[in-house]
Amino acid sequence: MSLDKRRGFAITQHDLSPRELERYARQMGPAVMSHEGQLRLKRSSALVTRVGGMGGPAALCLAMAGVGRVVIAHGGEMILPDLNRQVLGSEAVIGKPRAPHFAETLRAMNHHVEVIAIDHEPDRDEAREWAAEVDIILACPPTFAERMLLNEAAVSAGKPLIDAAQWGMMGSLIVVDPKRTACLKCIYPNEPEFEEFFPVVGAISSAIGSFAALEAIKILSGTGHSTAGRMLMFDGHDNQTRMVDLQRDEKCPVCGGVDRPAKESKSLH
């Protein structure tokens, strides 16, 4: 243990090194994150699945911000049509598995962050195991089935879930606080039909992915206020943003059995 005389506190291996303090200097201060908030980020972990158009920028923002452990899950190989939005990829990766390359991109961005790559989308059991392991889940898959599976895992583990979705020029974001707010199943009781090759614009993917990362950073660091319980809707045609209040379904098969906390209990801020 050494003493950082400049700031007057003891540095342990779990604290921030001088190099990290320098690295994060632009996001630490009265208008943004406190030292304690930055330290909380370092001690936090996040699962991001998948890490394509939305999850890629989200994972990148988390790694750049200094979230200590970022777990990414994405199966399959890179194909040419991915390159209009999947920022962690490149032309050199076409035909190769995405996850290991995406992980290397994140490691190259910030070596202070531990990056774990899963080369497939977690099934129900794996999702539950990872939900128990990490502090927050960012669900960025294209299918409702995967989003619902991650929703169930998050509610079961009592961990916050950030659900990012997009279609064409539009995107949406939902933050689920399992102890307090509606879950995805409350909002979408019936799964819509899945469209395999739906339209996506990379700038929308990145915008929604960045919003997802921002919510995660706020929750993990204790900065600002989470949008839990509301849905952010963004329409890129005219850059309109709307916030919609979400109602919890007391009879929801996923979160209906989760006890509401007493009014004075702490929830996501």
- Which runs of E-coded beta strand occur in the chain? 2-4, 9-11, 45-49, 69-73, 114-118, 136-139, 161-167, 170-176, 230-235, 240-245
- Which runs of E-coded beta strand occur in 86-179? 114-118, 136-139, 161-167, 170-176
Please report whether residue 255 would count as binding Zn ion according to CB under 5 A: yes
Rounded Cα distance, 245 and 257, in Å: 21
- Assess contact for 97 and 119: CB atoms under 8 A: yes
Q: Which residue is nearest to Zn ion (CB)?
A: 252
Please report whether residue 150 would count as binding Zn ion according to CB under 5 A: no
Q: How far is the CB of 9 from Zn ion (least distance, A)?
A: 42
Please pick, from the candidates 61, 87, 113, 183, the single residue that binds Zn ion as defined by CB under 5 A. 183
Please report whether residue 186 would count as binding Zn ion according to CB under 5 A: yes
- Assess contact for 157 and 129: CB atoms under 8 A: no
Rounded to a whole number, what is the distance in angstroms from the first to the last CA of the chain? 33
Q: How far is the CB of 252 from Zn ion (least distance, A)?
A: 3
Sign of CA dihedral 122, 125, 130, 135: positive
Please report whether residue 161 would count as binding Zn ion according to CB under 5 A: no
Please pick, from the candidates 59, 138, 201, 252, the single residue that binds Zn ion as defined by CB under 5 A. 252
Site string for Zn ion, 28-67 (x = CB under 5 A): ----------------------------------------
Of 149 and 207, the one with the shorter C-beta distance to Zn ion is 149
Of 71 and 174, the one with the shorter C-beta distance to Zn ion is 174
Please report whether residue 147 would count as binding Zn ion according to CB under 5 A: no
CA atoms within 13 A on the CB side of 178: 21
Please report whether residue 254 would count as binding Zn ion according to CB under 5 A: yes
Contacting range for Zn ion; rule: CB under 5 A; set: 8-16, 80-88, 167-175, 178-186:
178-186
List residues near Zn ion by CB under 5 A.
Answer: 183, 185-186, 252, 254-255
